[in-house]
Amino acid sequence: MLPGGKELGGAPANFAYMATRLGDSGIVASRVGTDELGQQTQLNLERLGLSPSHVQFDEARSTGTVLVRVNDRGQPAFTTIFGKSDWEESMRQPIAWEPG
């Protein structure tokens, strides 16, 4: 979360969004929970013109979050909020993808 509230982000999503804005086809490959935040993520991707087709939904884990603090010089510090969304190697699954 940013100081101003929740925002969809992360380097991969930000990159995919900018690639799409520049006329290419950005793809977000991620995994979110089936919780409210995961549903908001899907809606936000669609609103930004990004397909959620490569987003996996996990019924057992909540959507991960990162707390962003910005210091007085405007530099961000990131803290991952761990919990049910902790990474497990067993979650790694290949994603079918064909460049377009």
86 — pLDDT class (breaks 50, 70, 90): low
Does the pLDDT at position 4 exceed 80?
Answer: no
- Indicate whether 69 belongs to any domain: yes
Full-model pTM: 0.70
Number of domains the chain contains: 1
What single-letter DSSP state applies at residue 76? E
Question: What is d(CA 94, CA 3) in angstroms, rounded to the nearest whole number?
Answer: 35
- Indicate whether 96 belongs to any domain: no
- Indicate whether 72 belongs to any domain: yes
CATH number for the domain harbouring residue 27: 3.40.1190.30
Query: What is the extent of the structural domain holding 71?
Result: 11-86
- Indicate whether 30 belongs to any domain: yes
- Indicate whether 56 belongs to any domain: yes
pLDDT tens-digit map of 8-64:
888 889 999 999 999 998 999 988 999 999 999 999 999 999 999 999 998 988 888
Q: How do beta strands 76-81 and 65-70 pair? A: antiparallel
- Phi, psi (deg, nearest 5) at residue 83: 160, -130
Task: Classify burial at 11, counting beta carbons within 10 Å of its beta carbon; exposed 0-12, middle 13-18, buried 19 or more.
Answer: exposed
